[in-house]
Amino acid sequence: MNGISGHAGLFGNANDLAKLMQMFLNYGEYGGYNFLDSLTIKKWTSYQFVEFDNRRGIIFDKPLLRNKHLGTPSPLASDKSFGHSGFTGTFVWIDPEYEITYVFLSNRVYPTRNNSKLSDLNIRTGILQALYDSITDKPFGL
């Protein structure tokens, strides 16, 4: 593909993924260029099918609509926040209200697909929770 791919994990690194996520945080703009229309980003990252208690946007996950303390990513995440957790352990979370861009890259499937330590130990969301705790006056704790 000559170095061009829409798959963030396979051909990307933390720096590239952070730039892509920063572009989403900036509603389509990065480095002085407008790559996507801000209304498109807002549509992609807003809750869809709220009447069915759906916590997902068109492209990204969102915080739970109710009982925020039970779900990914953090009880302190704003309703404007959005992100994705990947099968291989990759995790990104963007929160426009707090201006957070969080990128976590890992290889959960090495040396075997049966490795569940990232989930069992809550590492990805634990780090994100520590970020929220450090910038808010209402720490939730891990």
Per-residue pLDDT of the chain (142 residues; tens, 9 = 90+): 665 655 544 567 888 889 999 999 999 999 999 999 999 999 999 888 878 877 778 888 888 877 666 666 888 889 899 998 877 788 899 999 999 999 998 887 777 888 888 888 888 888 999 999 898 876 554 4
Helices (H) and strands (E) in the chain, counts: 5, 5
Give the ranges where 1-142 is alpha helix by DSSP (H): 8-11, 14-25, 38-44, 117-120, 123-135
- What pLDDT does residue 69 have? 64
